[in-house]
Amino acid sequence: MKIIIIGSGIAGITFAEKFRALSLDAKITLLSKENDGYYSRPMLSKGFSDDDIEQSIIIKPFNDLLNNNICIISGVEVTGINRSKQLVNIKGVDEIETLEYDILILAMGSAAFIPPPFLPYQDCFYLLNNLVDLKKLRKFRQSMLLKNERPHWAIIGGGLIGCEVASDLALTNDPVTIFHAMDRLMERQLVEQDSQSLLNVLQTSGVDIRLNQAIKGLKKAANKIQIITDSNQSEYDSIIICCGFKPRTELAINAGLETGRGIKTNQFLLTNDKNIYALGDIAELPNGKLYAFIKPIRHQALWLASYLSKQEKQPWEAPPFSPSAKVNNFEAAHPYLF
Protein backbone atom coordinates (compact mmCIF):
# COMPACT_ATOMS: atom_id res chain seq x y z
CA MET A 1 0.00 0.00 0.00
CA LYS A 2 1.27 3.49 -0.92
CA ILE A 3 0.52 6.11 1.72
CA ILE A 4 1.25 9.78 1.13
CA ILE A 5 1.14 12.24 4.02
CA ILE A 6 1.16 16.00 3.43
CA GLY A 7 2.61 17.90 6.40
CA SER A 8 5.41 17.41 8.93
CA GLY A 9 3.71 18.80 12.03
CA ILE A 10 2.69 16.64 14.98
CA ALA A 11 -0.24 15.20 12.99
CA GLY A 12 1.78 14.02 9.97
CA ILE A 13 4.87 12.83 11.85
CA THR A 14 3.01 11.00 14.63
CA PHE A 15 0.84 9.23 12.09
CA ALA A 16 3.84 8.28 9.90
CA GLU A 17 5.83 6.82 12.78
CA LYS A 18 2.96 4.85 14.27
CA PHE A 19 1.82 3.55 10.88
CA ARG A 20 5.43 2.52 10.10
CA ALA A 21 5.52 0.53 13.32
CA LEU A 22 2.21 -1.21 12.62
CA SER A 23 2.38 -1.78 8.84
CA LEU A 24 5.84 -2.98 7.94
CA ASP A 25 5.17 -3.47 4.23
CA ALA A 26 3.53 -0.09 3.48
CA LYS A 27 5.42 2.48 1.39
CA ILE A 28 5.15 5.71 3.38
CA THR A 29 6.06 9.06 1.84
CA LEU A 30 5.80 12.30 3.78
CA LEU A 31 5.90 15.61 1.90
CA SER A 32 6.61 18.91 3.64
CA LYS A 33 7.34 22.52 2.89
CA GLU A 34 9.55 22.65 5.96
CA ASN A 35 13.34 22.22 5.91
CA ASP A 36 14.19 22.45 9.60
CA GLY A 37 13.07 19.02 10.78
CA TYR A 38 10.15 18.19 13.06
CA TYR A 39 9.86 20.86 15.74
CA SER A 40 7.56 21.82 18.61
CA ARG A 41 5.17 24.53 17.45
CA PRO A 42 4.00 25.36 21.00
CA MET A 43 7.58 26.38 21.84
CA LEU A 44 7.42 29.15 19.22
CA SER A 45 5.74 31.40 21.76
CA LYS A 46 8.72 30.93 24.09
CA GLY A 47 11.06 31.87 21.28
CA PHE A 48 12.51 35.13 22.61
CA SER A 49 13.59 34.32 26.15
CA ASP A 50 15.42 31.10 25.22
CA ASP A 51 18.72 31.92 23.49
CA ASP A 52 19.09 28.35 22.30
CA ILE A 53 15.54 28.00 20.92
CA GLU A 54 16.52 27.42 17.28
CA GLN A 55 18.15 24.15 18.37
CA SER A 56 16.08 23.23 21.43
CA ILE A 57 12.80 23.49 19.49
CA ILE A 58 13.78 20.65 17.13
CA ILE A 59 12.25 17.36 18.27
CA LYS A 60 13.69 15.24 15.49
CA PRO A 61 15.80 15.85 12.39
CA PHE A 62 14.15 14.59 9.18
CA ASN A 63 17.03 12.09 8.76
CA ASP A 64 15.69 10.12 11.74
CA LEU A 65 12.52 9.46 9.75
CA LEU A 66 14.51 8.34 6.71
CA ASN A 67 16.36 5.93 8.99
CA ASN A 68 12.98 4.63 10.09
CA ASN A 69 12.07 3.76 6.49
CA ILE A 70 9.77 6.74 6.00
CA CYS A 71 10.57 8.50 2.75
CA ILE A 72 10.52 12.20 3.56
CA ILE A 73 10.67 14.81 0.83
CA SER A 74 11.24 18.20 2.47
CA GLY A 75 11.25 21.73 1.07
CA VAL A 76 8.47 20.90 -1.38
CA GLU A 77 4.92 22.11 -1.80
CA VAL A 78 2.02 19.93 -2.83
CA THR A 79 0.17 22.07 -5.35
CA GLY A 80 -2.69 19.81 -6.39
CA ILE A 81 -4.55 16.56 -5.79
CA ASN A 82 -5.90 14.57 -8.73
CA ARG A 83 -8.53 12.42 -7.05
CA SER A 84 -9.60 10.41 -10.08
CA LYS A 85 -6.01 9.33 -10.85
CA GLN A 86 -4.96 9.27 -7.15
CA LEU A 87 -1.97 11.53 -7.71
CA VAL A 88 -0.50 14.54 -5.92
CA ASN A 89 1.36 17.28 -7.80
CA ILE A 90 4.56 18.55 -6.22
CA LYS A 91 6.55 21.73 -6.71
CA GLY A 92 10.12 22.05 -5.49
CA VAL A 93 11.96 18.94 -6.69
CA ASP A 94 13.17 18.69 -10.27
CA GLU A 95 12.86 14.96 -10.83
CA ILE A 96 9.43 14.31 -9.28
CA GLU A 97 6.32 16.11 -10.41
CA THR A 98 3.63 13.69 -9.36
CA LEU A 99 3.33 10.84 -6.89
CA GLU A 100 0.69 8.11 -6.74
CA TYR A 101 -1.19 7.17 -3.59
CA ASP A 102 -3.57 4.49 -2.42
CA ILE A 103 -4.33 6.48 0.74
CA LEU A 104 -3.70 10.21 1.16
CA ILE A 105 -3.42 11.80 4.60
CA LEU A 106 -3.98 15.56 4.71
CA ALA A 107 -2.13 17.09 7.66
CA MET A 108 -1.37 20.57 6.31
CA GLY A 109 -2.18 22.33 9.57
CA SER A 110 -3.02 25.99 9.76
CA ALA A 111 -1.61 29.37 8.86
CA ALA A 112 -1.83 32.50 11.02
CA PHE A 113 -5.13 34.27 10.45
CA ILE A 114 -4.72 37.84 9.19
CA PRO A 115 -7.93 39.83 9.68
CA PRO A 116 -8.92 41.32 6.27
CA PRO A 117 -8.43 44.99 7.35
CA PHE A 118 -4.70 44.23 7.88
CA LEU A 119 -4.12 42.58 4.50
CA PRO A 120 -3.04 45.83 2.78
CA TYR A 121 -0.29 46.35 5.40
CA GLN A 122 1.63 43.07 5.04
CA ASP A 123 5.00 44.84 4.97
CA CYS A 124 4.25 46.41 8.37
CA PHE A 125 3.95 43.32 10.55
CA TYR A 126 5.30 39.88 11.37
CA LEU A 127 3.45 36.62 12.09
CA LEU A 128 4.47 33.80 14.41
CA ASN A 129 3.21 30.56 12.93
CA ASN A 130 6.31 28.54 12.10
CA LEU A 131 10.03 28.34 12.73
CA VAL A 132 10.86 30.49 9.71
CA ASP A 133 8.68 33.27 11.21
CA LEU A 134 10.44 32.94 14.57
CA LYS A 135 13.88 33.11 12.96
CA LYS A 136 12.90 36.35 11.15
CA LEU A 137 11.66 37.88 14.40
CA ARG A 138 14.77 36.87 16.31
CA LYS A 139 17.01 38.24 13.57
CA PHE A 140 15.17 41.58 13.69
CA ARG A 141 15.48 41.70 17.49
CA GLN A 142 19.16 40.80 17.37
CA SER A 143 19.87 43.55 14.81
CA MET A 144 18.43 46.13 17.22
CA LEU A 145 20.24 44.74 20.25
CA LEU A 146 23.51 44.95 18.30
CA LYS A 147 22.84 48.70 17.92
CA ASN A 148 22.27 48.89 21.70
CA GLU A 149 18.57 49.49 21.13
CA ARG A 150 15.72 47.52 22.64
CA PRO A 151 12.75 46.95 20.32
CA HIS A 152 9.35 48.18 21.44
CA TRP A 153 6.85 45.54 20.31
CA ALA A 154 3.14 45.77 19.65
CA ILE A 155 1.13 42.56 19.66
CA ILE A 156 -2.20 42.78 17.88
CA GLY A 157 -4.52 40.24 19.48
CA GLY A 158 -4.95 39.40 23.15
CA GLY A 159 -5.90 35.75 22.62
CA LEU A 160 -3.92 32.72 23.76
CA ILE A 161 -0.87 33.16 21.51
CA GLY A 162 -0.76 36.97 21.82
CA CYS A 163 -0.69 36.73 25.63
CA GLU A 164 1.95 33.99 25.57
CA VAL A 165 4.23 35.96 23.25
CA ALA A 166 3.80 39.16 25.27
CA SER A 167 4.66 37.28 28.46
CA ASP A 168 7.80 35.83 26.87
CA LEU A 169 8.93 39.21 25.49
CA ALA A 170 8.37 40.75 28.93
CA LEU A 171 10.82 38.18 30.34
CA THR A 172 13.51 39.61 28.06
CA ASN A 173 12.70 43.14 29.32
CA ASP A 174 11.68 44.35 25.86
CA PRO A 175 8.79 46.84 26.13
CA VAL A 176 5.57 45.30 24.80
CA THR A 177 2.03 46.55 24.23
CA ILE A 178 -1.00 44.35 23.49
CA PHE A 179 -3.82 45.79 21.39
CA HIS A 180 -7.01 43.76 21.84
CA ALA A 181 -10.33 44.43 20.13
CA MET A 182 -12.44 42.99 22.97
CA ASP A 183 -13.04 44.19 26.52
CA ARG A 184 -11.09 41.33 28.15
CA LEU A 185 -8.14 39.04 27.34
CA MET A 186 -8.61 35.48 26.03
CA GLU A 187 -12.38 35.91 26.12
CA ARG A 188 -12.85 32.72 24.07
CA GLN A 189 -10.94 30.48 26.47
CA LEU A 190 -11.34 32.07 29.92
CA VAL A 191 -14.19 33.05 32.20
CA GLU A 192 -14.28 36.74 33.12
CA GLN A 193 -12.59 36.33 36.49
CA ASP A 194 -9.62 34.50 34.93
CA SER A 195 -9.32 37.14 32.16
CA GLN A 196 -8.98 39.72 34.93
CA SER A 197 -6.27 37.79 36.76
CA LEU A 198 -4.43 37.25 33.45
CA LEU A 199 -4.56 41.01 32.87
CA ASN A 200 -3.13 41.62 36.36
CA VAL A 201 -0.31 39.09 35.84
CA LEU A 202 0.68 40.54 32.47
CA GLN A 203 0.54 44.12 33.73
CA THR A 204 2.67 43.18 36.74
CA SER A 205 5.25 41.72 34.35
CA GLY A 206 5.38 45.10 32.58
CA VAL A 207 3.07 44.51 29.59
CA ASP A 208 1.04 47.54 28.52
CA ILE A 209 -2.49 46.32 27.69
CA ARG A 210 -5.01 48.26 25.64
CA LEU A 211 -8.50 46.75 25.45
CA ASN A 212 -11.44 47.76 23.20
CA GLN A 213 -9.06 48.87 20.45
CA ALA A 214 -10.45 49.47 16.98
CA ILE A 215 -7.35 49.70 14.78
CA LYS A 216 -7.94 51.88 11.71
CA GLY A 217 -4.64 51.24 9.98
CA LEU A 218 -0.87 50.78 10.14
CA LYS A 219 1.70 53.11 8.65
CA LYS A 220 5.48 52.99 8.13
CA ALA A 221 7.25 56.09 9.45
CA ALA A 222 11.07 56.07 9.17
CA ASN A 223 12.15 52.92 11.08
CA LYS A 224 8.93 52.73 13.08
CA ILE A 225 5.45 51.40 12.44
CA GLN A 226 2.49 53.49 13.55
CA ILE A 227 -0.73 51.98 14.84
CA ILE A 228 -3.66 54.24 14.21
CA THR A 229 -6.78 53.74 16.30
CA ASP A 230 -9.99 55.76 16.65
CA SER A 231 -8.54 57.79 19.47
CA ASN A 232 -4.77 57.91 18.99
CA GLN A 233 -1.62 57.05 17.12
CA SER A 234 1.44 55.31 18.59
CA GLU A 235 4.69 53.94 17.16
CA TYR A 236 6.55 50.67 17.58
CA ASP A 237 9.69 49.05 16.22
CA SER A 238 7.84 45.90 15.31
CA ILE A 239 4.31 44.52 15.23
CA ILE A 240 3.25 40.88 15.52
CA ILE A 241 -0.26 39.92 14.50
CA CYS A 242 -1.62 37.13 16.72
CA CYS A 243 -5.26 36.87 15.68
CA GLY A 244 -5.86 33.13 15.60
CA PHE A 245 -5.38 30.49 12.93
CA LYS A 246 -6.77 29.54 9.54
CA PRO A 247 -6.74 25.87 8.42
CA ARG A 248 -4.98 25.45 5.07
CA THR A 249 -7.97 24.19 3.09
CA GLU A 250 -7.05 25.50 -0.41
CA LEU A 251 -5.75 22.15 -1.74
CA ALA A 252 -8.90 20.38 -0.51
CA ILE A 253 -11.22 23.03 -1.96
CA ASN A 254 -9.49 22.85 -5.35
CA ALA A 255 -9.78 19.06 -5.27
CA GLY A 256 -13.51 19.29 -4.59
CA LEU A 257 -13.38 17.93 -1.04
CA GLU A 258 -16.04 19.12 1.38
CA THR A 259 -14.83 21.95 3.58
CA GLY A 260 -16.23 24.27 6.20
CA ARG A 261 -13.84 26.03 8.52
CA GLY A 262 -11.56 23.01 8.02
CA ILE A 263 -11.73 19.88 5.86
CA LYS A 264 -14.90 18.04 6.81
CA THR A 265 -14.45 14.49 8.02
CA ASN A 266 -16.64 11.82 9.54
CA GLN A 267 -15.87 10.32 12.96
CA PHE A 268 -13.28 8.06 11.25
CA LEU A 269 -11.36 11.15 10.02
CA LEU A 270 -12.39 10.21 6.47
CA THR A 271 -13.20 13.04 4.04
CA ASN A 272 -15.89 12.70 1.38
CA ASP A 273 -13.29 10.78 -0.72
CA LYS A 274 -12.88 7.17 0.40
CA ASN A 275 -9.09 7.35 -0.12
CA ILE A 276 -8.42 10.63 1.68
CA TYR A 277 -8.24 11.27 5.44
CA ALA A 278 -7.58 14.53 7.31
CA LEU A 279 -6.17 15.10 10.79
CA GLY A 280 -4.75 17.81 12.99
CA ASP A 281 -5.55 21.54 12.82
CA ILE A 282 -7.07 21.05 9.39
CA ALA A 283 -9.72 18.45 10.27
CA GLU A 284 -13.26 19.54 11.06
CA LEU A 285 -15.20 16.80 12.85
CA PRO A 286 -18.96 16.22 12.41
CA ASN A 287 -19.65 18.27 15.58
CA GLY A 288 -18.13 21.28 13.74
CA LYS A 289 -15.06 21.32 16.02
CA LEU A 290 -11.39 21.62 15.07
CA TYR A 291 -9.23 19.97 17.72
CA ALA A 292 -6.29 22.34 17.25
CA PHE A 293 -4.28 21.33 20.32
CA ILE A 294 -1.37 18.93 20.73
CA LYS A 295 -3.05 16.31 22.90
CA PRO A 296 -6.11 15.57 20.73
CA ILE A 297 -4.06 15.80 17.51
CA ARG A 298 -1.56 13.23 18.74
CA HIS A 299 -4.49 11.06 19.79
CA GLN A 300 -6.07 11.40 16.31
CA ALA A 301 -2.81 10.47 14.57
CA LEU A 302 -2.22 7.37 16.72
CA TRP A 303 -5.86 6.34 16.35
CA LEU A 304 -5.81 6.72 12.54
CA ALA A 305 -2.60 4.69 12.21
CA SER A 306 -4.19 1.89 14.27
CA TYR A 307 -7.45 2.12 12.36
CA LEU A 308 -5.78 1.92 8.93
CA SER A 309 -3.68 -0.99 10.19
CA LYS A 310 -6.94 -2.73 11.11
CA GLN A 311 -6.12 -2.74 14.84
CA GLU A 312 -8.89 -0.30 15.74
CA LYS A 313 -12.54 -0.47 14.76
CA GLN A 314 -14.28 2.13 16.93
CA PRO A 315 -14.66 5.71 15.65
CA TRP A 316 -12.28 8.39 16.95
CA GLU A 317 -13.38 10.07 20.18
CA ALA A 318 -11.62 13.14 21.53
CA PRO A 319 -9.65 12.39 24.72
CA PRO A 320 -10.28 14.58 27.77
CA PHE A 321 -7.96 17.57 27.55
CA SER A 322 -7.70 21.08 28.84
CA PRO A 323 -5.77 23.76 26.96
CA SER A 324 -3.69 26.12 29.06
CA ALA A 325 -1.85 29.35 28.36
CA LYS A 326 1.95 29.42 28.74
CA VAL A 327 1.93 32.78 30.50
CA ASN A 328 4.49 33.14 33.26
CA ASN A 329 2.96 33.20 36.77
CA PHE A 330 -0.59 32.69 35.50
CA GLU A 331 -2.90 29.84 36.35
CA ALA A 332 -6.60 29.92 35.57
CA ALA A 333 -8.85 29.18 38.53
CA HIS A 334 -11.55 27.71 36.27
CA PRO A 335 -11.37 25.20 33.40
CA TYR A 336 -10.62 26.66 29.98
CA LEU A 337 -13.54 26.89 27.55
CA PHE A 338 -13.28 24.91 24.29
Ligand X SMILES: Cc1cc2nc3c(=O)[nH]c(=O)nc-3n(C[C@H](O)[C@H](O)[C@H](O)COP(=O)(O)OP(=O)(O)OC[C@H]3O[C@@H](n4cnc5c(N)ncnc54)[C@H](O)[C@@H]3O)c2cc1C
Per CB under 6 A, residues contacting ligand X are 6-12, 31-34, 41-42, 44-45, 77-78, 107-110, 128-129, 161, 248, 251, 280-281, 292-294, 297, 323, 326
- Residue of this chain nearest to ligand X (CB atom): 109
**CA nearest neighbour of 316 among 282, 338, 286:** 286
Q: Between 184 and 299, whose beta carbon lies closer to ligand X?
A: 299
Q: Between 155 and 209, whose beta carbon lies closer to ligand X?
A: 155
Could you tell me the smallest distance in angstroms from the CB atom of residue 198 to ligand X?
A: 15
Q: Between 168 and 174, whose beta carbon lies closer to ligand X?
A: 168
Q: CA neighbours within 13 Å on the CB side: how many for 1? A: 16
Using an 8 Å Cβ cutoff, are 66 and 52 in contact? no
For the beta carbon of residue 316, count every other beta carbon within 10 angstroms. Answer: 22
Could you tell me the smallest distance in angstroms from the CB atom of residue 137 to ligand X?
A: 11
Tell whether the torsion through CA atoms of 10, 12, 15 and 20 is positive or negative.
negative
Could you tell me the smallest distance in angstroms from the CB atom of residue 208 to ligand X?
A: 21
Give the residue ranges of DSSP H helices in the chain: 10-22, 53-56, 62-67, 131-146, 160-171, 192-204, 250-254, 294-308
User: If 0-12 CB within 10 Å is exposed, 13-18 middle and 19+ buried, where does residue 220 land?
Assistant: exposed
Could you tell me the smallest distance in angstroms from the CB atom of residue 236 to ligand X?
A: 20
Q: Between 73 and 181, whose beta carbon lies closer to ligand X?
A: 73
Q: Between 224 and 261, whose beta carbon lies closer to ligand X?
A: 261
Could you tell me the smallest distance in angstroms from the CB atom of residue 224 to ligand X?
A: 25
